[in-house]
């Protein structure tokens, strides 16, 4: 009854002129799906204790059988949640974010011929899920909510005629002045948000082969939720809601973060919570924190959201040798408080560029970060709005700087994401970039940060303790597994520390804080500069000779020496 009341209220908000028969029929489907699911219950707020590993199945290790072979590797690394970048059927013009069929996985990822029976395909995926779950690893994947591929059956039908019943699944007009205040997201790659098709134009916020869905048609909303429900029956633990701010459009607005968008998200969350409580709904909202927090609602929208602004500020802090970019970004003035059940997801690199969108980065910061990290002209993305490079390239292949960046991310509030290959210093892949230009017809430099893993070469490098890959891997593995022993990093509060040198001078190069949860208290100290720094620790009692990571703490006369780009994780729970 509670679900029915919630959905009816939201339905009337979104579709006041529409009859409720559609909704009542859908509610019966929801109950039938709930009865079909017999998976174990999720632990409450499990996503707060997760370390997420993000990967493309084919680029990581060919297909799901290859991924199964690497589950032991991932478990040893300390990963307990996999974020599968787009796996649904797609022509792959935008790395799979252009979905052709929401209820089928690409056959090549399953190691099966295209014409294999659907149930055979689904069994391969379910077997993979079972293997992952047996190791305590959750699995989430991307679902593009805002748009489909132009090859989706709905759009193929929509193109046939203005009278086709699927025409209204998309947004059509003969007037391209509509929604003129909506910015072009792929600035420099697309000239317009409208694409000619026949004697009309269809609207798209991303590439022209990704027509936007029309959520003003209630059938679109219900069809999208049916996609969620289907994958819940297969055992998926959550969904990354791609491009969530743009799903509702209104003339005279910028078509972002509209009230109706939040009503749609509440609709999604209510259904997911009812059918399988604890299913993760993760907001991909590339916006300022004050806008992103709205997607948590009153704990009735997304469970979690990416902290996009924090990512570039971590890079700025290291380059500027100053803690201020991070402390300012995480202050309540910039990042408002979130509901107790909600969580930020943090990352250093992902499948996209080091984004410097002016939506959440000032012009001054954009210019500074671009100048300090876009080390090759080829890395430029969207005319200065981003840098397309792997973490190891951005850090000039310096294992100490890479480890420092990871130490910061792994200990700040939120759930951290490791982008596949970054744990061993994977480099930009120029061959893959050139290959994808030929395939897509787009000079999209984001393909530099993707590329396949050559596991024979990686294993050879990791076996050599002196290799670049081995140094990066051993540091990150140590940190991740240490982090997993403490709840304070994923669930605890943060208390900033203003550390000084022995003469009482402020140390702007030192980023330090306490992470506190119940009886746990860990002091984390980072040296953002290249030089060794001596820190006054008069207020710290009974410090051990080693920190939690095994680093030796040089503790003399109530001072602590921290080498350039060094860091300590110090257990102060008993102090």
Judge whether 394 and 415 are in contact, CB under 8 Å: no
Rounded Cα–Cα distance for residues 432 and 371 (Å): 25
Rounded Cα–Cα distance for residues 520 and 537 (Å): 20
Judge whether 286 and 360 are in contact, CB under 8 Å: yes
Instruction: Output phi, psi for 123, to 5 deg.
Output: -65, -40
**Which of helix, strand or coil describes residue 76?**
helix
Q: Which of 233, 241, 317, 253 is nearest to 509 (CA)?
A: 317
Q: Could you tell me which residues are beta bridge partners of residue 552?
A: 546
Q: How far apart are the first and last CA of the chain?
A: 51
Q: Which of 126, 310, 99 is nearest to 236 (CA)?
A: 126
**Which of helix, strand or coil describes residue 47?**
helix
Q: Which of 204, 202, 131, 194 is nearest to 168 (CA)?
A: 202
Q: Would you state the structure tokens that stand for residue 288, as one six-digit string? A: 């300022």
For 208-235, what is the HEC assignment? CCCCEECCCCHHHHHHHHHHHHHHHHHC
Q: Would you state the structure tokens that stand for residue 34, as one six-digit string? A: 């709930």
Quickly count helices (H) and strands (E) in the chain: 20, 23
Token pair 């027509």: residue: 211
Rounded Cα–Cα distance for residues 287 and 305 (Å): 10
Which residues in 395-509 belong to E strands, given as ranges?
415-419, 493-497
Q: Which of 565, 483, 513 is nearest to 326 (CA)?
A: 513
- Which residues are known to be catalytic? 242, 284
Judge whether 303 and 281 are in contact, CB under 8 Å: yes
Radius of gyration (C-alpha) of the chain in whole angstroms: 24
Rounded Cα–Cα distance for residues 309 and 369 (Å): 13
Residues 6 or more apart whose Cβ sits within 8 Å of residue 82: 52, 53, 54, 55, 74, 132, 137, 138, 139, 140
Rounded Cα–Cα distance for residues 274 and 532 (Å): 54
310-320 helix and 363-373 helix, angle to the nearest 10 degrees: 60
């Amino acid at each position: 009854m509670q679900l029915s009341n919630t959905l009816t209220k939201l339905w009337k908000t979104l579709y006041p002129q529409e009859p409720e028969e559609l909704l009542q029929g859908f509610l019966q489907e929801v109950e039938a799906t709930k009865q079909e699911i017999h998976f174990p219950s999720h632990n409450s707020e499990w996503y707060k204790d997760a370390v997420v590993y993000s990967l493309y199945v084919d680029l990581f290790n060919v297909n799901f059988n290859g991924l199964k072979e690497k589950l032991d590797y991932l478990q040893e690394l300390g990963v307990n949640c996999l974020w599968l970048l787009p796996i649904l059927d797609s022509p792959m013009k935008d790395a799979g974010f252009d979905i052709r069929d929401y209820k089928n996985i690409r056959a090549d990822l399953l190691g099966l011929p295209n014409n294999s029976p659907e149930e055979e395909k689904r069994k391969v995926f379910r077997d993979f899920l079972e293997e992952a779950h047996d190791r305590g690893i959750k699995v989430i994947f991307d679902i593009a909510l805002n748009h489909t591929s132009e090859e989706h059956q709905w759009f193929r039908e929509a193109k046939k005629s203005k009278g086709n019943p699927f025409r209204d699944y998309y947004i059509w007009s003969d007037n391209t002045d509509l929604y003129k205040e909506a910015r072009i997201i792929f600035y420099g790659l697309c000239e317009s948000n409208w694409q000619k098709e026949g004697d009309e134009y269809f609207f798209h916020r991303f590439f022209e082969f990704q027509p936007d869905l029309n959520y003003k048609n209630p059938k679109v909303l219900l069809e999208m939720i049916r996609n969620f429900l289907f994958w819940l029956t297969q055992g998926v633990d959550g969904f990354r809601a791609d491009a969530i701010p743009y799903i509702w459009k209104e003339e005279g607005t910028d078509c972002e973060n509209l009230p109706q968008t939040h009503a749609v998200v509440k609709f999604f969350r209510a259904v997911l919570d009812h059918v399988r409580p604890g299913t993760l709904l993760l907001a991909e909202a590339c916006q300022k924190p004050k806008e992103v927090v709205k997607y948590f609602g009153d704990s009735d929208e997304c469970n979690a959201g990416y902290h996009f602004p924090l990512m570039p500020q971590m890079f700025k802090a290291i380059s500027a040798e100053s803690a201020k970019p991070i402390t300012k970004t995480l202050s309540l003035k910039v990042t408002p408080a979130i509901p107790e059940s909600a969580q930020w997801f943090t990352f250093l690199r992902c499948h996209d560029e080091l984004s410097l969108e002016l939506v959440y980065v000032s012009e001054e910061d954009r210019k500074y970060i671009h100048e300090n990290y876009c080390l090759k002209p080829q890395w430029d993305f969207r005319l200065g709005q981003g840098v397309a490079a792997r973490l190891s390239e951005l850090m000039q292949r310096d294992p100490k700087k890479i480890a420092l960046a990871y130490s910061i991310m792994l200990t700040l509030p939120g759930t951290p994401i490791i982008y596949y290959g970054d744990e061993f210093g994977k480099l930009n892949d120029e061959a893959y970039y050139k290959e994808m230009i030929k395939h897509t017809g787009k000079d999209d430099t984001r393909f530099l940060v993707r590329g396949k893993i050559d596991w024979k070469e990686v294993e050879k490098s990791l076996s050599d303790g002196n290799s670049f890959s081995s140094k990066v891997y051993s540091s990150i593995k140590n940190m991740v597994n240490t982090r997993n022993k403490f709840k304070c990093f994923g669930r605890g509060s943060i208390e900033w520390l203003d550390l000084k040198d022995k003469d009482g001078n402020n140390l702007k190069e030192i980023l330090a804080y306490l992470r506190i949860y119940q009886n746990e208290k860990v002091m984390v100290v980072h040296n953002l500069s290249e030089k060794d720094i001596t820190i006054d620790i008069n207020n710290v009692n009974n410090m051990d000779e080693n920190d939690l990571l095994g680093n030796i703490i040089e503790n003399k006369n109530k001072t602590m020496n921290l080498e350039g780009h060094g860091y300590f994780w110090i257990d102060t729970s008993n102090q």
